[in-house]
Structure 1
Amino acid sequence: MENPGQLARLKDDLGLLPSAVDEMVRWVTPIKCFLCTAVKDYELRGVTIRKGDALLLSYPSANRDEDLFEDPFLFAVARTPNRHLAFGFGVHYCLGAALAKMKTNAFFA
Structure 2
Amino acid sequence: MAIPTPHRSPRTAYLEEKYKRRVVAATQPKLRSRQLQLASWAISLSITGYVVLFADFGPQEHCFSSLRRWFDGKRRQFWSLSAQEQQDLKDQGRLTELQNASASTQRT
TM bracket (short chain)? under 0.3
Q: TM-score, normalised by structure 1?
A: 0.21
Structure having greater relative contact order (Cα 8 Å, sep ≥ 6) = 1
TM-score by length of 2: 0.22
Structure with the higher fraction of residues in helix conformation: 2
Higher percent of residues as strand = 1
